[in-house]
Every structure is written in structure tokens, then in C-alpha cells.
């Protein structure tokens, strides 16, 4: 009989992992506390499908000194981690494109991802960084402001722009829609999903792991003994349950530390998001972004998601429990600066979300200290961009195969 694997968390990481494990013929059960897939960090995504480009994310919004020091130390000891991450990013975006194509996933994909270099100083710094990025095999191109405006004709002609970086393989889309469709494909391959089910503990049991889980009713509904609204998912009895699995993969972001049985040193990165309907005017067909637009100087991103525009930013990094105060006004100002008049101000949605960031800013991908336990935790803003490749490589390892890329440098043992 094939090996049984539990996946904890049904965000982008968990859904992609479930799909890849099921595709390799393993028996997969996904446990998710919420009522559907991609309800937490994956719901909040800025909608960018972005390659990893070292130094780009921090360019406009530096992390606190403590975090930068930890990253610097990690960078010194982590050796080839940036090269591994660049290769993983490339593999992952290629895997995402292949899944979209082969499975017919339609997540409102939009091509093109540009990074604004508002002044000559930033353009010069980017030009100096180019050889390093290219040495890592990254497809990064420095383009003139005129070319950037041609690719994004909705850009404000009065907003100063010196140049832009065009990130190859990058684009925008609807991460939640992607996760929902991939979930259906995973189910088609036999993976089972249990929603409103929280994993409470994981312990060694013989050669496998005992997973303790419990039905967790949605906060707004009275306790019930069976699952309420998750459609074709498994019914769940009330009270704590225990089940044995050959392996468990933790894909539950910030909360993985509570189940991992080892210290993971995760920080929380808070980000505000505003989503608004695109203004559709026949006389101005180019309103709004065509793809993804990143402004490191303001620390914000603007992306096209179907007929909507999504703006995210206002970043703060704290410890895993602290709260942050969102500055939605800054996002509205940023959108008005780059794409004026592009959205309707009715039906605007605003929200604040947090995502896990390992202390050194790299993914935690590989075998945990406890035998049979695996981690798939993506860093900061790269979660979607890395999800499909990370899931594929991890699934190969869980299935006992050699992964297509050596990802030892990203393994949790580096935190020991
Ligand atoms: C505002 C914002 C913008 C972002 N923008 C981008 C972007 O543009 N591009 C990009 O690539 N990435 C982006 N990211 C990052 C990306 O969204 C995340 O890295 C990615 O979604 C993380 O996915 P995940 O599956 O690891 O976590 P999540 O989506 O948070 O999923 C974890 C799941 O685990 C469940 N869970 C937790 N504990 C338990 C338990 N004990 N038992 C059962 N279930 C449990 C939770 O309910 C949750 O559904 C952004 C993140 C944020 C917050």
C-alpha cells in the first residue's frame, strides 16, 4: 500500500504540496482549520507571481536592524542559499506555468512584472546589481522609462520615472483562484481535505507519526458534530481524534512552530491590502496596470487581478504575536500616484494580513528534526512564486526520490 501523508494547512503551500504528493501516488489527507483553501496569507497575496531577486524586496522598506543582522549572519553561514533560491524560483515559476497549461488552470493571469526605479540614483544602483543577478541566472532586464510606459500605458505621465526593471517569468494573477483550482485537481488525484479541523499535536508512533486533530467549528456557528459548508470534504466527528501517518508536512505558516517540536525562529510580516474594481472606460482603455508594478521606494505593489486592481504595502515586521496598524491611506496615495483614476471607489475591500518570515528570510524547506516530519514554509512575499516548485521538490523527498534540485541549503537544519 502507498505511504500515507498528512499535510497541515491548505494555503498555497499546502494545496500545492497535496497536489504534488498525490501526483506521485501517495495517499494524502489535508487538515485545514478554516472552511476553505487559501483563507489566510494566501488570500492576502499581492497577486504577484514574482521571481526571487535578492536585495529587491528590501530596497524600499528595510527590515528592522535585528532582522537584518540575523539575515547577514545567516547569509555568511548559509553559503549557497541565494543561488539555491534563485534556481528554486526559476524551477517554481516554470512548474506554475506548466500546471496552468496542463491542467487548464485559469487564475486571471496577467503577464509582465516591472519594478519602478523612480530616480537616477535607484537606476544606477539597479544597474550595478545587474551582473550579480545575471550571474545567478535571473532574467532581469533594465529598461528605459519610455519602454516601461509602453508596457504599462496606464502609468501616470507626470509620475517621475528614471527606468524600470523587467523581471522575466514574472506576472500577476489571483492566488486564491489558483489554489482553489489546484485543490480540485489534487482531489481528482485522490487527495482528501478536512476543513474546520485543527491539528493540535504531532508525536512519534512506531515508524510513523500520530497526529492529533480536532473539529473546529467556524467561529460564527454553534458547535456541530459534522462539517458544515466544505462541500465534498470528509465529515469529522466532534472531540480530539488521533490518526497515524507515515509522514506529515507542515504548511501552516506562522503556526508551524507550535507543531514542529523544534525552534523555528519565525517573525511575522504584516501588510495592508486594498482591492478595488477597475474603472472600465471605452475612451481610456489603458486605465490601471496590465500586470504587476512594484515601487520599492514607497514599499508598495500594484497588480492587475482580472477586472480588479490590488495594492499592497505598509509593511511592518514584528515578532510572531505582535499586532501592526495598517496605513490604507498610503496605499490609496500610491495608487493615485502611479495609476490615477484607475479604480472605482465603491466596493473597495481593505484588509491587514501577516505572513511567516524565517529569521534569515529564506524558505524552510525539508526534513525537520523529528523523523517523518517535513516543513514547507515560504518566506515573505515569495509564497506564490515559490509554492509549486517547493511542493514538487519536497514531495519527491517525502516519496523517497532524489529531488530535481539540491535544496539542502534551504533545510531547517540551518537553524540548529
Ligand atoms: C499582504 C500579503 C501580500 C503578499 N503578496 C504576495 C505576492 O504578491 N506574491 C507572492 O508570491 N507571495 C505573496 N505573499 C506571500 C504569500 O501570500 C505567502 O507566502 C503564501 O500565501 C503563504 O502560503 P502558506 O500556504 O504558507 O500560508 P497560508 O496561506 O497562511 O496557509 C496556512 C494555513 O494553515 C492553516 N493552519 C494553521 N495552523 C493550523 C493547524 N494547527 N491545523 C490546521 N490548519 C492550520 C491556516 O488556517 C492557513 O489556512 C503575500 C502575503 C501577504 C500577507
CB atoms within 10 A of CB 202: 24
Does residue 29 have its Cβ closer than 6 Å to ligand 1? no
What's the CA-to-centroid distance between 320 and ligand 1, angstroms?
14
- Taking CA atoms only, the protein residue closest to ligand 1 atom 13 is 381
Question: Ligand 1 centroid vs 271 CA: distance in angstroms?
Answer: 12
Decide if 317 contacts 235 (C-beta within 8 A). Answer: no
- The protein residue whose alpha carbon is closest to atom 31 in ligand 1 is 11
17 C-alpha vs ligand 1 centroid, how far in Å? Answer: 13
Ligand 1 mean position, distance from CA 379 (Å): 10
Ligand 1 pocket member 31 (CB < 6 A): yes
Mutation test of ligand 1: which of 252, 268, 311 has the most ligand atoms closer than 8 Å to its C-beta?
252
C-alpha cell at 298: 514607497
Q: How crowded is residue 13: how many other Cβ atoms within 10 Å of its Cβ?
A: 34
pTM for this one? 0.89
Per-residue pLDDT reduced to its tens digit, 219-233? 644 443 333 444 455
Mutational pocket test of ligand 1: of 251, 384, 390, the residue with most ligand atoms within 8 Å of the beta carbon: 384
**Centroid of ligand 1 to alpha carbon of 113 (angstroms):** 21
Per-residue pLDDT of the chain (416 residues; tens, 9 = 90+): 789 999 999 999 999 999 999 999 999 999 999 999 998 888 877 788 999 888 775 543 334 444 444 554 444 444 578 888 899 999 999 999 999 999 999 999 999 999 999 999 999 999 999 999 999 888 999 999 999 999 999 999 999 999 999 999 899 999 999 999 999 999 999 999 999 999 999 999 988 999 999 999 876 444 433 334 444 556 677 789 999 999 999 999 989 989 998 888 888 878 889 999 999 888 788 899 999 999 998 889 999 998 999 999 876 666 666 676 778 899 999 999 999 999 998 889 988 887 777 778 788 999 999 999 999 997 666 789 999 999 999 999 999 999 999 999 999 888 76
Q: Tell which atom from ligand 1 comes closest to the C-alpha of 303.
A: 8
Amino acid at each position: 500500500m502507498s505511504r500515507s501523508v498528512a499535510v497541515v494547512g491548505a494555503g498555497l503551500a499546502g494545496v500545492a504540496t497535496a497536489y504534488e504528493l498525490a501526483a506521485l501516488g501517495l495517499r494524502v489527507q489535508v487538515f485545514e482549520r478554516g472552511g476553505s483553501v487559501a483563507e489566510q496569507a494566501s488570500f492576502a497575496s499581492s497577486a504577484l507571481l514574482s521571481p526571487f531577486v535578492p536585495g529587491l524586496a528590501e530596497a524600499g522598506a528595510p527590515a528592522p536592524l535585528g532582522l537584518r543582522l540575523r539575515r547577514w549572519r545567516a547569509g555568511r553561514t548559509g553559503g549557497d542559499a541565494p543561488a539555491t533560491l534563485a534556481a528554486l524560483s526559476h524551477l517554481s515559476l516554470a512548474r506554475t506555468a506548466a500546471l496552468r497549461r496542463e491542467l487548464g488552470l485559469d487564475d486571471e493571469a496577467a503577464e509582465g512584472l516591472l519594478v519602478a526605479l523612480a530616480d537616477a540614483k535607484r537606476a544606477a544602483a539597479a544597474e550595478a546589481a545587474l551582473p550579480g543577478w545575471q550571474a545567478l541566472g535571473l532574467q532581469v532586464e533594465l529598461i528605459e522609462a519610455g519602454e516601461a510606459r509602453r508596457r504599462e500605458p496606464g502609468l501616470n505621465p507626470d509620475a517621475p520615472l528614471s527606468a524600470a526593471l523587467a523581471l522575466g517569468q514574472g506576472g500577476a494573477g489571483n492566488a486564491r483562484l489558483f489554489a482553489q483550482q489546484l485543490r480540485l485537481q489534487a482531489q481528482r488525484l485522490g487527495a482528501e481535505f478536512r476543513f474546520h479541523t485543527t491539528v493540535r499535536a504531532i508525536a512519534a508512533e512506531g515508524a510513523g507519526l500520530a497526529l492529533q486533530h480536532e473539529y473546529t467549528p467556524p467561529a460564527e456557528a454553534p458547535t456541530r458534530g459534522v462539517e458544515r459548508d466544505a462541500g465534498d470534504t470528509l465529515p469529522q466527528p466532534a472531540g480530539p481524534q488521533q490518526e497515524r501517518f507515515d509522514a506529515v508536512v507542515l504548511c501552516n505558516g506562522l503556526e508551524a512552530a507550535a507543531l514542529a517540536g523544534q525552534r523555528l525562529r519565525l517573525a511575522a510580516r504584516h501588510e495592508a491590502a486594498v482591492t478595488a474594481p477597475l474603472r472600465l472606460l471605452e475612451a481610456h482603455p489603458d486605465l490601471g496596470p496590465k500586470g504587476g508594478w512594484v515601487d520599492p521606494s514607497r514599499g508598495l505593489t500594484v497588480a492587475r487581478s482580472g477586472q480588479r486592481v490590488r495594492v499592497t504595502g505598509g509593511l511592518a515586521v514584528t515578532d510572531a504575536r505582535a499586532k501592526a496598524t495598517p496605513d490604507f491611506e498610503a496605499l490609496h496615495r500610491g495608487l493615485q500616484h502611479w495609476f490615477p483614476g484607475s479604480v472605482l471607489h465603491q466596493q473597495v475591500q481593505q484588509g491587514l494580513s501577516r505572513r511567516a518570515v524565517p529569521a534569515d528570510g529564506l524558505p524552510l524547506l525539508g526534513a525537520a528534526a523529528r523523523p517523518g516530519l517535513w516543513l514547507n514554509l515560504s518566506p515573505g512575499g515569495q509564497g506564490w512564486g515559490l509554492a509549486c516548485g517547493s511542493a514538487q521538490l519536497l514531495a519527491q523527498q517525502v516519496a523517497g526520490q532524489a529531488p530535481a534540485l539540491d535544496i539542502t541549503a534551504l533545510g531547517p537544519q540551518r537553524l540548529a
